[in-house]
Amino acid sequence: MPLLLGPVLRHVGETSATVWVQTDSPGVVEVLGCSAPTFEVQGCHYGVVLVDGLQAGSVTEYQVHVDGRQMWPEPDATFPPSVIRTRGHDQQDRLQIIFGSCRYPKTGVEKLDDKLGLDALDVYAARLPTTPVDQWPDALVLLGDQVYADELTPEARRHLAGRRTNGRRPPDEVVSFTEYEGLYRHTWGDPEIRWILSTVPTAMIFDDHDIRDDWNTSGAWRREVNAKPWWRDRIRAGLASYWVYQHLGNLSPTELRDDEDYQKVLAAEGDVWPLLVDLADRADAEVDDDKGLRFSYRWDMGRSRLVMVDSRNARILDSGDRKMLGNREFAWLEHQVTDRLDDVDHLIVGSSLPWLLPPAIGDMQMVNERAANRPGRRGKFAETVRQAADFEHWAAFVQSFLDLSRLIVDVASRDADAPATVSVISGDVHHSYVARADIPSARSNVHQLVCSPVHNYVPWFVKPVFKLGWSRRLGRVTRRWAQRNGCPALPFAWSDVDGPLFGNTLATLRTSGRDAEAVFEQPRDATSLDEVARVPLTR
């Protein structure tokens, strides 16, 4: 079949859109009269069509043609035609985005699929055709773990077992680009997922499992994994496939035209893998307290702004000075957040990892970081705990946590142009919650919104740990303990507004004027979801 994957509708502006596809051979891909040639990566073929000339506020059905032949919709399609919905001038003060993270694919093993439960995004896609088009979400935001490169389905393990003949590569982790290609086709190939990705603009960012569990937890982790003979192949394949499958679509048509790496790929003849090897090496390396490639990006959607932060690859670790973001990366974030704030009613910061954890757990991560920085056996033990307990969130990079907190306090406390809401949306932690930041000077309502998982199981120990983590009494004890261990004072307090919620979940952030709310839904059956929480974000 010529169209192997996609179409995936990515960035959509008032008059433009980006459509991504994977084809089975070289060709020219056409959407609504706009076309693009495919490029080749190790025998795989991809096209990114920049569609322009759309009308603001329109809903336009589209088809995908490859070399003049219609490949989408497929002849036996059961879902409605795919559409591109652009924002009109009368829709600038309204926004509806759905978001979540940690979506494990169906395994084909009944017992394991029963353990994973119903896929919340599958169910949402099945329900969407019965919803009027003008009530469809403006964007789907996937906050990490789009694929699991180190926790493979039984089918993927069997496939790899036949390829591992020399013993130099692990039998249960993908290493090459073509193995990643198989993961993406498996994960995005469900009919429900293909359709919703074809018709709802989708923003993405990676988290650790897109590359490997605990990716970039610490300098010690990087040194250990870099010593593995297969890791250089793995990180190149992981970052290159992320660039192809996820990052390119996050960029607007204008940004793609100005992107030097993308233009080199388009201009190259034959396999562009050598270009992607160079790209991946630059992205992985630390140079002058920064990374060589930026994966963070910004989407403006009417009077709402999404700034997506790369809180995985952008980390600075090799120098021993732990930072979630390098200096230039944080300066970029600061500019995107504060730029023309008088045009913004709702500021949304996307980070795969939560900014505000349950206070007791945040204190534990802060204390652990200080201990892990010490020499000797105590430091080594703390580093072991850091990796074993997944102490790798913003609180485990204390200075970066304080910098982000300062930036959010500054934005929320402005006199003239403070947004109505500042929301940090995150995933990763396999449960969902809403936390409110209690900032005395704030004119904005500031919240942490976490939705995870979309489709995964919740380990048995997570529920009591995270319930206990919100205990105010325990929080007072851990705060005193943290201060005795030299941790800085917190810039403000925060509290749990709703949650923790456990189970497969999809969240909606909805704005109207300067009002906003968050809604959390969980699957009831294959075509319907139940609302399990609704939280006003403005008071």
Count of Cβ atoms closer than 10 Å to residue 413 Cβ: 15
* Structural fold of domain 92-536: Purple Acid Phosphatase; chain A, domain 2 (3.60.21)
What contacts 354, CB < 8 A, 6 or more positions away?
Answer: 393, 394, 424, 426, 428, 429, 448, 450
What span, in angstroms and rounded, lies between the C-alpha atoms of 147 and 266?
26
Question: Alpha helix (H) ranges present in 292-375?
Answer: 327-338, 359-372
Q: How far apart are the first and last CA of the chain?
A: 53
How far apart, in Å, are the Cα atoms of 196 and each of 49, 124, 352? Answer: 18, 9, 21
User: Is 397 within 8 Å of 309 (Cβ atoms)?
Assistant: no
Taking the mean position of all CA atoms in its chain, how far away is CA 89? 28
Q: How far apart are CA 500 and CA 519, in angstroms?
A: 14
Three-state SS for 47-62 is EEEEECCCCCCCEEEC
Q: How far is CA 278 from CA 152, 261, 272, 283, in A?
A: 27, 10, 10, 9
Other Cβ atoms less than 10 A from the Cβ of 269: the count is: 7
Please tell me the distance from the alpha carbon of residue 212 to that of residue 192, in angstroms, as a whole number. 27
Tens of each residue's pLDDT in the chain, 539 residues: 589 999 999 999 999 999 999 999 999 999 999 999 999 999 999 999 999 999 999 999 999 999 999 999 998 889 999 999 999 887 889 999 999 999 999 988 889 999 999 999 999 999 999 999 999 999 999 999 999 999 988 888 877 766 666 667 777 789 999 999 999 999 999 999 999 999 999 999 999 999 999 999 999 999 999 999 999 999 999 999 999 999 999 999 999 999 999 999 999 999 999 999 999 999 999 988 889 899 999 999 999 999 999 999 999 998 778 999 999 999 999 999 999 999 999 999 999 999 999 999 999 999 999 999 888 999 999 999 999 999 999 999 999 999 999 999 999 999 989 999 999 999 999 999 999 999 999 999 999 999 999 999 988 888 999 999 999 999 999 999 999 999 999 999 999 999 999 999 999 999 999 999 999 999 999 999 999 999 999 98
Predicted TM-score (pTM) of the model is: 0.96
- pLDDT at 13 (0 to 100): 95
∠ CA 260-263-264, nearest 5°, is 85
Contact criterion met (CB below 8 Å) for 120 and 505: yes
Distance CA 421, CA 418 (A): 8
Domain extent listing, the chain: 92-536
H or E segment and range at residue 340: none
Question: What distance lies between CA 209 and its chain's CA centroid?
Answer: 11
| DSSP reduced 3-state for 260 | helix
